[in-house]
Amino acid sequence: MAISIPPQSTMRPTTFSATPATKVYTILAVDDKPDLLTSMQSLLSLYRYQVLIAPSGKEAINTLQNNTVDLIILDLRMPDLNGHQVMDYLAQHHIDIPVVVVSGESSFDAVSRALKNGAYDFIRKPYVAEELLNAVKHALQERTLANDNLAMQEQIKHSEHLHRFMINNSPDIIYILDKHGHITYLNDRTLSLINYEKSDLIGKHFSTLISEDELRKHPYTLNERRKGSRKTKNREVQLKRRVQYSNIEKVGTLSVSFEVSSMGIYNEDPISGEDVFAGSYGILRDITARKQAESVIRFQAYHDLLTGLPNRSLLKDRTTLAISQARRNKHKVAMIFLDLDRFKIVNDSLGHNIGDQLLQAVSRRLQSCLREGDTLSRLGGDEFALLLPNIANQENAVAVAEKVLSVLDSAFHIDTHDLHLTGSLGIALYPDHGEDMDTLIKHADLAMYSIKGNGKNGLTVYNQEMSNAQLSRISLEHDMHVALEKDEFDVVYQPVINAETGSLKGFEALVRWHHPNNGILYPKDFLAIAEDNGCIIAIGEKILDRVCSDIKRWKKPDLQISINVSALEVNHHGFVELITSHLAHYNVRGSQIELDINENIIMSDHLQTIEKLQQLSDLGISIAIDDFGASYSSLSHLHRFPINTLKLDQSFIASIDGKPKKACIINAIIAMAKGLDMRLIAEGVETEQQYHYLQNLGCQHMQGHLFSKAVSYSLAEYMIQHPEDSLKTFPENPNIPVLAN
C-alpha cells in the first residue's frame, strides 16, 4: 500500500534536515510494491538523498554488491527473499549498514526478530512520512557519530606510534641536549644524513658535530638557551659528515650545509616555581640540495642555458669592469656583435633540435678565438657578442673578427647533416664609439646590419653614418604610416611577354612610393622596413585592391597579373579572406591573379601555409616562386605546395653574359620546370645574348628592360588595347619582339 505524499508547500526540507550539504547519502529502498517504491523514492529525493530501489530481496543483494549504500529501508514480506533473510545475508557477510524496517507485518515476533538482526528502527505500514524521515535522519546521524568515534579512538590508540614514526622518519635530524651541551636524544636520521650511528653520539658534546672554526662562529647556535621570539630559527651551520674513502682505509669528514632551528628547554622548580634551564631542543635540516639549486639558479641568472655562455647580464657586469680598467689604463675595449647568416633556414627546414645543436657547435668554435680575459656571450637566438678588454687599437679587434669568420668557414657536422654557416660582424670600440655596454652593443649592432645589407658574411667597424642611416630609417618608418593615410603608394606594371611571339602574356604589379621629399622610392628602398614594422600588410592590401580594380576596368579575362606577397602577409590570419573578398567585390576570376611567394615561405613547410595556398589554388589562383634559386630550396618541399610557376632569379640571368659555367644552373632549372610541368618566367632579361640563350633552352616567358620597363596604368592599358601598335623589334635584331614603352 502506497502512501500519499503531501504537496511540497506543506513538506519543508528544513523540518527534516537530511544531511550536511557536503555529503549526499545513498539509500536503498527494498519493497515488492512498485507504487510504494516510487512514492518513497520521490519523498526521499526531496531531501537530497540519492535513492536506489530494489523490488525484491535478491535484487537488493545484487544492488549491494555493485553499489555503496549508507542505509537500507527494508520490507519484511517479499516473495523470493524476505527482509529477515536479507538481514541474515548482511550479518553473514559482515556488511555493516543501518536498516530501517518498513513493513505491514507488525507482530511482536516479527518486530523482535528484526531488531535482534540489527534493524535500527521498525515502522509499520502505512507509514507516516515524518516518521520515516526522522528514522532515516537519526539512523544516519548515529552511524556518522559512531564512525567518527571509532576513528577518534583509533587515532588516540595510535597517536604515540605515529609520533614516534614521524620523529624517526622526519627528513631532519631532531636532537635534545642537556644543560651542559651533551647529546641526550637523536632520531634515526643521523645515519643517513651525517653517517653517524646514534650510539656514537649519545652522551657526546654537540661540538663533536662541528669544526673548531664553526664552533667559534656559532658557539650558541645548537645549544640555544633562548625561547619564544628570540630562539634560533633557520640559521645556516656546517656539520661534519663522516666519509669512508674507497681507495684507502681511512675515515674522514666532509663539511656539509645544514639549517638549524633551536630553542631552550625549561623546567619549573618545584620549590621556587621559577623556570630552570634544562637543555636545548633543535632541528637540523640538510640544505645541500637547496644550496646546489641556488648555485644552479645563480648560474642560470648569468648564463645562457643552451650554450652555457654568459648572458647579457653577466656581459654587462664584465663590460662595466673592462671599461673601468680601460679608463684607468688608457686602453680600448672592443665589442663585436655577431649574427649568423641564414640560421633561420636551418631551424625552419631541419627543426629546432638541429638548430640548437648547431648553436652549441658554433659557441664551441667561437671560444677558440678568445684570449684570456675575453668574454663570449649569447644574447639570444643566433646573436653573439664578444667582449675584448684591454686592446691597443682597432686593428686588434678586426683581427679577432677575421678569426671568427675563419672558424665559421668549415662545415658543421650535425647529426647526419653537413651545414655551412657564415656570419655578419659589427665592431664598436670604447671610448671611440660609446662609453657603456648598451651604447657599444647598439653601435656594433648597427655595424652588423650594415654588413647584412651588403651581402652578409663580412665585418665592419661602426661609424657615425650608420647612426645617421638608422635615424633615416626611423624617419622613413614614420613617413610610411603617413603615406598609407595619404595614399602615396602607387602600382606600376612590368609586362611579361611570350618570347616567341612577342605577345603580351600579363604583367607583374610593382609598388612605387611617391615620397613628398625623396621622390619616387622603389621596393628595395622601403619594403624591408615595411616587413619589420608590419606596414607590409596594409601596403599589400592597397596593391591587391588597385590590381583587382584595374583588372576589372581592362576587361581582359585572359590577362594575368602577378602580385608579390611576403611571408608576413601569408601568415596573417586574414590572408585568404582578404584575397577572396577582393575577387568577389571586383568580380575578378582567380585565374587572373598570380601570387609570387619567396622560397623561404615554402622552406618553412608550415601546414597552415600549405592549406592557405591550396585554398587559393582551388580558386584558380596561380602560385609562383619568385627569385627561384636565390635561396636554399628543397624539391621535397616544392612538391608539398601547389606551385604553378617558377620565376628564375635575375642573378642567374646576369651570369649568362661571360659566365657560362654559372649559367649552366639555368639549364638544370629549366629542365626541372619542364619535368615538373611548371611554367618558367625569366626575370631581368636585358641583353640579346640572354634572350637567345633562354629561348634556345625553351624558356617561353620573359620580362626585363630588353622588352619593357615597368609602365603606368595608362600605358599598360594602351598595350592591352593596341597590341599591334605597342609591338616593335629590337633595333639591332629584328627577330627580338619588344613592347614599346
For 501-525, the pLDDT digits (tens) are: 778 899 999 999 999 988 999 998 8
pLDDT at 19: 44
When pLDDT is averaged across residues 105-122 and rounded to a whole number, the result is 85
Other CB atoms within 10 A of residue 401 CB: 25
pLDDT at 248: 56
pLDDT at 670: 85
Return the SS3 of 596. Answer: strand
Answer whether residue 519 is part of any domain.
yes
Q: What is the dihedral of CA 620, 626, 629, 632, to 10 degrees?
A: -90
Q: Are residues 364 and 289 part of one domain?
A: no
Q: Are residues 630 and 547 part of one domain?
A: yes
Among 437, 462, 487, which residue terminates a domain? Answer: 462
Q: Are residues 620 and 535 part of one domain?
A: yes
pLDDT at 348: 79
Q: What percent of the chain has pLDDT over 70?
A: 91
State how far the Cα of 568 lies from the Cα of 531, in Å rounded to an integer: 7
Q: At residue 667, does pLDDT exceed 60? A: yes
Answer whether residue 468 is part of any domain.
no
Instruction: Give yes or no for a contact between 521 and 555, defined as CB atoms under 8 angstroms apart.
Output: no
Answer whether residue 245 is part of any domain.
yes
> Per mean pLDDT, which range of 42-51, 291-300, 660-669, 674-683 is the poorest?
660-669
Rounded to 10 deg, the angle between the 536-554 and 713-721 helix axes is 30
pLDDT at 152: 79
State how far the Cα of 661 lies from the Cα of 655, in Å rounded to an integer: 9
Ramachandran area for residue 627 (φ above 0: left; ψ -120 to 50: alpha; else beta): left
> Which has more confidence, 702 or 454?
702
Q: At residue 355, does pLDDT exceed 70? A: yes
Query: 686 forms bridges with which residues in the sheet?
Result: none
pLDDT at 170: 85
Other CB atoms within 10 A of residue 486 CB: 11
Burial state string for 282-299 with b = 16 or more CB within 10 A and e = fewer than 16: bbbbbbeeeeeeeeeeee
When pLDDT is averaged across residues 119-135 and rounded to a whole number, the result is 89
Return the SS3 of 554. Answer: helix
pLDDT at 22: 59
Q: Are residues 197 and 54 part of one domain?
A: no
pLDDT at 734: 56
Answer whether residue 159 is part of any domain.
no
> Which has more confidence, 14 or 492?
492
Answer whether residue 157 is part of any domain.
no
User: Where residue 132 sits, what CATH number does that domain have?
Assistant: 3.40.50.2300
Among 232, 264, 293, which residue terminates a domain? Answer: 293
Of 297, 281, 299, nearest to 289 (Cα)?
297
pLDDT at 440: 94
Q: What confidence tier does 546 reach under pLDDT thresholds 50, 70, 90?
A: very high
Q: What confidence tier does 7 reach under pLDDT thresholds 50, 70, 90?
A: very low
Domains identified in the chain, total number: 4
Instruction: Give yes or no for a contact between 417 and 354, defined as CB atoms under 8 angstroms apart.
Output: yes
Answer whether residue 596 is part of any domain.
yes
When pLDDT is averaged across residues 93-100 and rounded to a whole number, the result is 90
Stretch (H or E) spanning 664: helix 660-675
Q: Are residues 388 and 331 part of one domain?
A: yes
Q: Are residues 458 and 516 part of one domain?
A: no
Q: What percent of the chain has pLDDT over 90?
A: 48
State how far the Cα of 565 lies from the Cα of 75, in Å rounded to an integer: 82
State how far the Cα of 637 lies from the Cα of 659, in Å rounded to an integer: 30
Q: At residue 694, does pLDDT exceed 60? A: yes
Q: Are residues 555 and 662 part of one domain?
A: yes
**Got the DSSP string for 262-323?**
EEEEEEE-TTT--EEEEEEEEEEEE-HHHHHHHHHHHHHHHB-TTT--B-HHHHHHHHHHHH
> Which has more confidence, 651 or 392?
392
User: Where residue 259 sits, what CATH number does that domain have?
Assistant: 3.30.450.20
User: Where residue 344 sits, what CATH number does that domain have?
Assistant: 3.30.70.270
Q: What confidence tier does 671 reach under pLDDT thresholds 50, 70, 90?
A: confident
Contacts of 27 (CB under 8 A, 6+ apart): 44, 49, 50, 51, 52, 69, 70, 71, 72, 73, 136
Determine how β-strand 422-430 pairs with β-strand 417-419: unpaired
Q: What confidence tier does 630 reach under pLDDT thresholds 50, 70, 90?
A: low
State how far the Cα of 695 lies from the Cα of 499, in Å rounded to an integer: 7
The boundaries of the domain holding residue 530 are 474-736
When pLDDT is averaged across residues 689-713 and rounded to a whole number, the result is 89
Q: Are residues 313 and 263 part of one domain?
A: no
Query: What are the angstrom distances between the C-alpha of 608 and each of 564, 595, 597, 615?
Result: 19, 17, 15, 11
Among 442, 462, 482, which residue terminates a domain? Answer: 462
pLDDT at 740: 54
Answer whether residue 165 is part of any domain.
no
User: Where residue 579 sits, what CATH number does that domain have?
Assistant: 3.20.20.450
Determine how β-strand 733-739 pairs with β-strand 458-461: unpaired
Q: Are residues 536 and 623 part of one domain?
A: yes
pLDDT at 8: 36
- Rg over alpha carbons for the chain, rounded to the nearest Å, is 44
Stretch (H or E) spanning 618: helix 607-618
Residues across the chain: 741
When pLDDT is averaged across residues 303-319 and rounded to a whole number, the result is 93
State how far the Cα of 604 lies from the Cα of 607, in Å rounded to an integer: 9
Q: Are residues 133 and 77 part of one domain?
A: yes
For 145-194, the pLDDT digits (tens) are: 888 888 877 777 777 677 777 777 788 999 999 999 999 999 988 988 99
Of 13, 1, 70, 15, nearest to 43 (Cα)?
13
When pLDDT is averaged across residues 126-155 and rounded to a whole number, the result is 86
Q: At residue 249, does pLDDT exceed 70? A: no
Q: Are residues 551 and 530 part of one domain?
A: yes
pLDDT at 531: 87
Q: At residue 78, does pLDDT exceed 50? A: yes
pLDDT at 635: 64
pLDDT at 17: 46
Q: At residue 14, does pLDDT exceed 50? A: no
pLDDT at 3: 42
Q: Which amino acid is at 198?
A: K
For 259-296, the pLDDT digits (tens) are: 999 999 999 888 888 899 999 999 999 998 888 888 88
3-state DSSP of 122-134: EEECCCCHHHHHH
pLDDT at 109: 83
Q: At residue 54, does pLDDT exceed 60? A: yes
pLDDT at 253: 82
Cβ contacts of 317-326, under 8 Å, gap ≥ 24? 318/375, 318/387, 318/389, 319/387, 319/436, 319/437, 319/440, 320/436, 320/437, 321/389, 322/387, 322/389, 322/390, 322/430, 323/430, 323/435, 323/436, 323/437, 325/389, 325/390, 326/389, 326/390, 326/430, 326/431
Q: At residue 12, does pLDDT exceed 50? A: no
State how far the Cα of 703 lies from the Cα of 684, in Å rounded to an integer: 6
Query: What are the angstrom distances between the C-alpha of 49 and each of 63, 119, 294, 452, 653?
Result: 17, 20, 54, 76, 86
Q: What confidence tier does 564 reach under pLDDT thresholds 50, 70, 90?
A: very high
State how far the Cα of 192 lies from the Cα of 33, in Å rounded to an integer: 68
pLDDT at 344: 84
Answer whether residue 718 is part of any domain.
yes
What rounded mean pLDDT belongs to the chain? 86
Q: Are residues 324 and 225 part of one domain?
A: no
In the block, residue with C-alpha cell 534536515: 17
Q: What confidence tier does 10 reach under pLDDT thresholds 50, 70, 90?
A: very low
Q: Look up residue 280 and give its three cell numbers.
A: 636545548
